[in-house]
Amino acid sequence: MSHVVSQEWLFEHGTDDHVVIVDCRFALGNPTSGRTGYDTDHIPGAFYIDLEEDLSAPKAAHGGRHPLPNLDELAAKLGRIGVDSDAFVVAYDDQGGAMASRLWWLLTYLGHERVAILDGGYTKWKETGYPVTDEPPVERAAEFRPHVRPEILLSVDEVKQRLGRPGTVLIDSREPRRYEGLEEAIDPVAGHIPGAKNRFWKDGLTAEGLWRPASEQAERFTDLKDAEEIVVYCGSGVTACPNVLALQQAGFTNVKLYAGSWSDWISYEENPIATGNEERA
């Protein structure tokens, strides 16, 4: 099953009984902008889910800037917006799919694979002239029963155990300059986890902001074809998710998320830090 649906598909199927549309718009540094944008206009029938209020737990000493949410609370939220075992969830944002991919990954982690992101997001939807509304969606409560898949998630200790392990590849999803440690405007320490390769998540998009097809995603990761395990991280566990999705689209199966990511890694003073581009070393 494809994890990306087209604008045309959602326009034709958005009102189907089993389809649940979720607006995930959110901007780091302006946390109210997503909800404000949603209240102004959104895709008809869409529910709003907030990155920090719904898809993350409060920040603590460890766990990163966006720790995974309380799963019982998330399951209850999903049930309130109509997600049950038969639902097909379509998530969108206006930031290239990063926030929508976070919901995609969390649903996958909770054992619900009937979920996709909207190609082109809300920006493309409005540019195309598809309908928008400021009307709230009709509530259709359901029961969401999670079936957690712990095998696709790694803790900081599990990542440390894998450093230098043959067959395991770490992927850093941040911008190259942050990966190399040349700049860091968000976290207090610059650099990357030793041994990690850099694959900027936005390289999975075309210049028009559309999702690259599976063949082009495979080209981004062609050097990983012999990897036995791929561990993906970013700054806080959010923009790693589109790379996890891209890897799955490219045919990789043993892909895991280090949800705490760089912001969690550097919260432990004893953890090693690397700088520069290791692939050019």
Same domain for 92 and 191? Answer: no
Instruction: Please check whether residue 281 lies inside any domain of the structure.
Output: no
Q: Are residues 191 and 114 in the same domain?
A: no
Residue 154 identity:
L
pTM above 0.85, yes or no: yes
Q: In angstroms, how far apart are the furthest CA atoms of the chain?
A: 56
- Burial class of 61 by CB neighbour count within 10 A (0 to 12, 13 to 18, 19+): exposed
Task: Examine residue 163 and state whether it is found in any structural domain, yes or no.
Answer: yes
Q: Is position 234 annotated as part of the catalytic site? A: yes
**Residue ranges making up the domain that contains 99:** 4-128
- Residue 140 confidence (pLDDT): 87
Q: Does residue 134 fall inside a structural domain?
A: no
Task: List all residues 6 or more positions away from 207 whose beta carbon is below 8 Å from its beta carbon.
Answer: none
pLDDT tens readout for residues 258-276: 999 999 999 999 999 999 9
Q: Hey, which residues does 258 pair with through a beta bridge?
A: 154
pLDDT at 280 over 60: no
Does residue 276 sit within a domain?
no
Q: Residues 5, 81, 103, 234: which is the catalytic one?
A: 234
Q: Tell whether 280 is covered by a domain.
A: no
Q: For residue range 48-64, what is the model confidence (pLDDT) as tens digits?
A: 999 999 999 999 999 99
On the question of pLDDT at 281 being above 50, the answer is no
Does any domain span residue 271? no
Q: What CATH number is associated with residue 67?
A: 3.40.250.10
What tens digit of pLDDT does each residue of 170-212 get? Answer: 999 999 999 999 999 999 999 999 999 999 999 999 999 999 9
Closest CA relative to residue 186, chosen from 75, 45, 28, 37: 28
Of 155, 149, 246, 253, the residue nearest 199 (C-alpha): 246
**115 part of a folded domain:** yes
